Amino acid sequence: MTAMSKPMPLEQFTRLPPAHAVDCVDGLAGAIDAVAEHAAASHRFLRYGWFAAALRAYGGSARTLLVARESEPVVALPFVARGPAWLGLAEVAGCYWPFRSFPVREDAGTEAMDAMLPRLAREVRALRVGPVYDGDPGLELLKEAARAQGWGVLDRFVADSYLLDMRAAQNEEGGWPRNSTLRKNRFHEKHLGSHGALDWAFVHGSDWDDAAFDALAAVEEKSWIAARTDGSDAKFTREGHGAFWRAAAADPVVAGMMWAAVLRVDGEPAAFSFDINAGALKYAIANSYDPAFGKHSPGKLLYYRNLVRALADGMVLVDWGAGDSGYKQVIGADRGPAIRDWLFLRPGLPAAAAKLLRGMWRRSGQ
């Protein structure tokens, strides 16, 4: 620089975006937890142990796409092959409840997906993501980047979700729960107590053991799901999805998010409400009761107690998921984001086929 030259103003420098490195590893990557710990609070259960539990319960051999920004992992996408190998189809690993997605750091941007997609295209012809909620952080970034890079993007509607904002409901005229509801509950509790001593308890964290899961399964085995179906959709029985939840509880962080309210009558499990607590958000995964006590509404009594406890613990929002909107709306829940399945088809012939597949894919939704 000569004596007469002046330094270049800072605004004339172009700041380069941080570099992203992409890798694809066999199995589940240990870095999944590092990403999940910095994901949105609603997604921090998407840990290594969560995906490992799904593989153990439902089978499959996983691979994991990792995106690192300046050596820090920001995206972890575990996927498993589906269908004949020659089709090149895969789906995000995991469990249906509360949704099937993958962890993304809160501060990740579309550039992370921009970097990941060319490698994903080398691994699969099509990737299914979901069922997952509209607005899911990883989904939204992936959609934006995929469309920009010429991927085919298909969606199919699965169901509406229902959300209860307990704090807002408390501030409404009459409050929440309403005094009339509490009076009815006390009436039912009194008559339920005629069957034996009532014990209301909560299970979480290190409380999860075989006995705790057996209690939930015992209620399901007496419930309508056993009487009216083949039982394969039960959450905690050996014939249903019990293997997944027992395996997921092996991760102490996930176990700390798993929460159950349990009612026993004379020492026998009579009702339960099972959730995942994610920060100020409670995912209501399953609830059931013994129909022998049905006329006293044990399930209703239990979940009101459970929600009052959630409020005391600083929780604000309850995500009731899909299905049976009647009782959810009676509680005060409103329609929330739609739940959809997404199919991403890589550029070229797969993406070109998207137009032909769109109608078929949408009609296959539930």
Q: Which two tokens stand for residue 104?
A: 């993304």
Per-chain mean pLDDT for the chain = 92
206: left (phi over 0), alpha (psi -120 to 50) or beta: alpha
* Domain limits, the chain: 19-159+339-363, 177-331
Give yes or no on whether 19-159+339-363 and 177-331 have one common fold.
yes
46: left (phi over 0), alpha (psi -120 to 50) or beta: beta
Instruction: Give the model's pLDDT for residue 6.
Output: 63
Higher pLDDT, 139 or 16: 139
CATH, domain range 19-159+339-363: 3.40.630.30
Q: Which residues pair with 65 in a beta bridge?
A: 24, 77
From the list 265, 259, 272, the residue with the least C-alpha distance to 45 is 259
> 360: pLDDT confidence band, cut at 50, 70 and 90?
confident
Kindly report the pTM of this predicted structure. Answer: 0.91
The least confident of 29-33, 116-120, 224-228, 303-307 is 224-228
Q: Which CATH architecture is the domain 177-331 placed in?
A: 3-Layer(aba) Sandwich (3.40)
Instruction: Give the model's pLDDT for residue 338.
Output: 96
Indicate whether 131 pLDDT > 60: yes
> 1: pLDDT confidence band, cut at 50, 70 and 90?
very low
The least confident of 42-46, 185-189, 284-288, 355-359 is 355-359
